[in-house]
Structure 1
């Protein structure tokens, strides 16, 4: 079999900036500790373990990071990196381990709480925008300081962070919240509630594999700029379709929408 025609990052020669690593560890570690503190408080004061389980599920979701890094053409400099684990030849720093529990798990819990209130479709669209902005806010300091690098023909890459990533990554916690919302009535408050932990990384994996696919194919095939921009348009469009599906599943129906019985009568 011929080798894959994949552009490779200079993993063996890039140096992790010490200041950038410290800053990004702080940026991700402080929210992680805050969410953990609130989760423990919920468990002790309310006997409510849901946020803590979402936190643990978010922590488990970091297992997908090496896969996403390889296919999305992202790497973290190796020399001087404070590495948590290595998979698929990609060392993953501790700062990423600190990010997942609150970005996917904590925000997934907030999405669940919103969905449980049967919000309007507009609020779900706004949540997508808010989570996309939070993703941009977290990643921007990293790319500007060299903590992590997106390489190859990345479209919509204005300052080092390709914006197509934000469109997808914002849906990861939303999908986790939707899965929890759909299964929560059947799980109760006993041991079955532990199913929330694998639901969070499942949502992460489904979103990335489903929505990133056009970009992964374009980047992996060495597509030129027009090809990657077309793939970005497809990926963002699929992400918007995913948000629309969430509005269909969890949003309250418009007040002027006909009730089911009225629709049946109208069909007759």
Structure 2
């Protein structure tokens, strides 16, 4: 039987670019942690941010190779900067670090913004900014030859496919909303559950929102159907963010009346 799944491109690992990107990732994550340590966040919320960072980094071990396959995303098979290989994907070191600062950071920021009484307009503005940051980060990887999407990707006009940045941004918002609901019950040692929570929120969000485009990409469907799948994926992301925005707005109104 002929397969409809596109083959993975075989690409070399650009070592100087990889080291530069890894260094940049470390600098960004260090900046977040310095802000946590000396900006008052540690006193206000304890070790919540580092735990979320660690949890999102751990989630990459399970999640990244799986969705690299379903969403048609390649990394160089031979890479001196990799830390493990699974499901036919060689994962570089900058991936768990990127998970930590982007998904962990955006989730933490979303949680703090919701707790601060953000209106739905502010939530949507934060989502738009998160989409831009993700698109730029993933596009840089593609431009440097560190990794990229392949196959008949929709919305892949310049840089990274736009639909993917919608999904990545939504992932952080779902985790941020979950923190809003769960944190009142996570005291003391119970906060160690934050090491596991990101795997549930990220895996379920990415699995559900990317289902339309993933099916289209791996089924040999015509271009119009693939673009319809990408559009449906982005629409599902917007539905999720709409719910988060409504939740935050309702909390803000309730707080104003109290």
Task: Tell me if both proteins adopt one fold, taking TM over 0.5 as the criterion.
Answer: yes
Residue in 2 aligned with 1:250?
Answer: 248
Q: 1:127 to 1:22 in 2, by over 3 A?
A: same
User: Could you tell me which of 188, 208, 211 is aligned with 1:210?
Assistant: 208
Q: Is the 8 A contact 2:117 2:252 kept in 1?
A: no
**Cα deviations across residues 48-83 of structure 1 (Å, max 9, x unaligned)?**
111111111121121211111101100011234411
Counterpart of 2:184 in structure 1 is 185
Number of paired residues?
Answer: 252
CA contact (8 A) 1:111 1:173 kept: yes
How far 1:252 moved relative to its partner?
Answer: 3.0
- Segments of structure 1 that go 5 or more residues without pairing to the other structure are 260-268
User: In the alignment, what sits opposite 1:90?
Assistant: 89
Cα shift at 1:15: 0.5
Q: Quick check: 2:56–2:96 contact (8 Å CA) kept in 1? A: no
Tell me the residue number matched to 1:228. Answer: 226
Secondary structure at 2:84's aligned position in 1? Answer: strand
Q: CA deviation at 1:253?
A: 6.5
CA distance in 1, matches of 2:249, 2:207: 25
Q: How far off is 1:224 after superposition?
A: 2.2
Distance 1:228 1:152 in 2: 11
Q: How does 1:5-20 map to 2 (within 5 A)?
A: 5-11=4-10, 14-20=11-17
Normalised to the residue count of structure 2, the TM-score between the two structures is 0.90
Instruction: From 42, 45, 53, give the equivalent of 2:51.
Output: 53
Q: How do residues 29-108 of structure 1 correspond to structure 2 at under 5 angstroms? A: 29-41=26-38, 48-63=46-61, 64-108=63-107
1:5 Cα deviation after fit: 2.9
Q: Is the counterpart of residue 173 in structure 1 residue 175 in structure 2? A: no
Question: 1:251 Cα shift?
Answer: 2.0
| 2: CA distance, partners of 1:44 / 1:152 | 44
Q: CA–CA distance in 1 between the matches of 2:41 and 2:133?
A: 27
Q: Which secondary structure does the structure 2 equivalent of 1:152 belong to? A: coil
User: Could you tell me how far apart the structure 2 residues matched to 1:103 and 1:49 are?
Assistant: 17
User: Matched residue of 1:251: which SS?
Assistant: helix
Counterpart CA distance in 2 for 1:242 and 1:46 is 28
Larger radius of gyration, structure 1 or 2? 1
8 Å contact kept, 1:5–1:221: yes
TM-score, normalised on structure 1? 0.87
Give, in whole Å, the separation in 2 of the partners of 1:119 and 1:154: 35
Task: Please say which of residues 236-245 and 38-47 is displaced more in the overlay.
Answer: 38-47
Computed over aligned residues only, the root mean square deviation of the Cα atoms, in angstroms, reads 2.1
Q: CA deviation at 1:46?
A: 5.7
Question: Who is 1:265 aligned against?
Answer: none
